[in-house]
Structure 1
Amino acid sequence: MNALLNVIWLLFGGIWLALGYFLAGIVCCLLIVTIPFGIASFRIGVYALWPFGQTVVNRGGRVTAVSSIGNVIWLLVAGIWIAIGHVLTAIPMFVSIIGIPLGIANLKLIPVSLAPLGKVIVPSSGTYLPTYR
C-alpha cells in the first residue's frame, strides 16, 4: 500500500516538492556557510519523494546547541514559509478522497521543515536503533 501511495504522491506533486528542496540544498551548499542547511534540505527532499513508510525522529543525544541555534535561524529564514506552503498545498489535496492521504503526508512534512537539524528519517515499521554514539 505504501508503494502505491508513494507513486500517487510522486505524480501529484511529490516530484516538484522534492526538486524544490534539492534546489534549495544546492544553493545552500554553494554558499559554504549554510552547508548544514543544504544537507538538511537534501534529507527533506528525499523524504518528500517517498513520505509513505517513513517517519522523522529526533537524533537523540546528538542534538547540540549548534543544531538548536541552526534550527532557530532556519525557522526564521525559511521554516515558517515552507510550513505555510505545506499547509496551503495540503488544503486542496483534502478535497478528494484519494487526496486525503496525500494531504496528511504533506502535513507530515511540516515538523521537519520547521526544524530539520537534529532529526533523522527512518522507516516507520519496526524499531530504530541508532548505531552511532
Structure 2
Amino acid sequence: MRLLLNVIWLIFGGLWLALGYLLAALICFVLIITIPFGFAALRIAVFALWPFGRTVVDKPGPRPGALVGNVIWVILFGVWLALGHIITAVAMAITIIGIPLALANLKLIPVSLMPLGKDIVPVDSVANPDRAFA
C-alpha cells in the first residue's frame, strides 16, 4: 500500500514540492553561509518525493543552534514551503482518493517550518526505538 501511495504522491504533488525544496537548497548553497540549510532542504526534498513509510523525529541531544537556525529558515523559506504544502493539501483533499495524500502534505508542514534538529527515519524504526538512529 505504501508503494502505491508513494507513486500516486510522486505524480500528483511530490515532484513539484521536491522541486521547491531543491530550489531552496540551491539558493542556500549559493549564499554560502546558509549551506547547512541547503543540506536540510535536500533531506526534506527526498522525504517530499517519497513520504509514505517514513516519519520525522527529533534528533537526540540538545540542539541550541537549531532554534536560531529554524527562525532564520522560517523567515527565508519555511513560510513559502509550508504555504505550498497547504495549497497542495487542499487541492488533493477534493477527491476521496487524495485524502491520504493531503494528510501526508499536512505531515510535512512542521518539518518544512522547522527542519533543523529533525531526522527522517523509517516508520518501522520508530516502533523499535533501538533501531531509530542506527
TM-score (norm 1): 0.91
Closer, same or farther: CA 30–124 of 1 in aligned 2, 3 Å: same
Distance 1:130 1:103 in 2: 28
Structure 1 partner of 2:101: 102
Structure 2 partner of 1:84: 83
The percent identity for this pair of structures is 59
Shift of 1:42: 0.1
Note the residue ranges of structure 2 that are not aligned, 5 or more in a row. none
Number of aligned pairs? 130
Matched, 1:69 2:68: yes
Secondary structure of 2:116's partner? coil
Answer yes or no: is the 8 Å Cα contact 2:21–2:81 preserved in 1: no
RMSD: 1.3
Which residue identity does 2:133 align to in structure 1? P
Which residue identity does 1:83 align to in structure 2? A
Distance 1:16 1:89 in 2: 10
Note the residue ranges of structure 1 that are not aligned, 5 or more in a row. none
Shift of 1:112: 0.3
Matched, 1:21 2:31: no
User: CA offsets per residue over residues 49-98 of structure 1, 9 Å max, x none?
Assistant: 0000000000020x422111000111122212221221121112111111
Matched, 1:129 2:128: no
Which residue identity does 1:90 align to in structure 2? A
Shift of 1:20: 1.8
Distance 1:11 1:113 in 2: 20
Structure 1 partner of 2:112: 113
TM-score (norm 2): 0.91
